[in-house]
């Protein structure tokens, strides 16, 4: 409940009542949004980890092919692969 006092040209008026707030979205929207954000972050972390493992596998494969020669270092540098 609230009380509102208004002063104007014709004296003082007093109003009483209640304020009702309508929700903007259904109650299930916020938990769903939170779950989607967490899933998005987990998928992103998994993708980053998988990409790093994939790069390590490429480096290992190239090392096996070229036996650590200068060609491997040059190729890996041009491809931007870490770990050499």
CA distances from 23 to 26, 29, 34 (A): 7, 11, 18
Q: What is the pLDDT along the chain (84 residues), one digit of tens a residue?
A: 677 777 766 776 777 777 778 888 888 999 999 999 999 999 998 888 888 888 888 777 777 766 656 776 777 777 777 655
What integer pLDDT is reported at residue 38 of this predicted model? 96
Distance CA 84, CA 6 (A): 78
Segments making up each domain of the chain, as ranges: 23-84
Q: What does pTM read for this prediction?
A: 0.45
């Amino acid at each position: 409940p609230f009380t509102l006092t208004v002063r104007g040209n014709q004296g003082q008026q007093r109003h009483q009542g209640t304020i009702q707030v309508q929700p903007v979205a259904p109650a299930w929207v916020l938990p769903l949004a939170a779950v989607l954000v967490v899933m998005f972050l987990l998928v992103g972390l998994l993708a980053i980890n998988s990409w790093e493992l994939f790069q390590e596998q490429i480096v290992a494969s190239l090392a096996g092919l070229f036996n650590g020669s200068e060609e491997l270092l040059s190729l890996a540098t041009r491809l931007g692969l870490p770990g050499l």
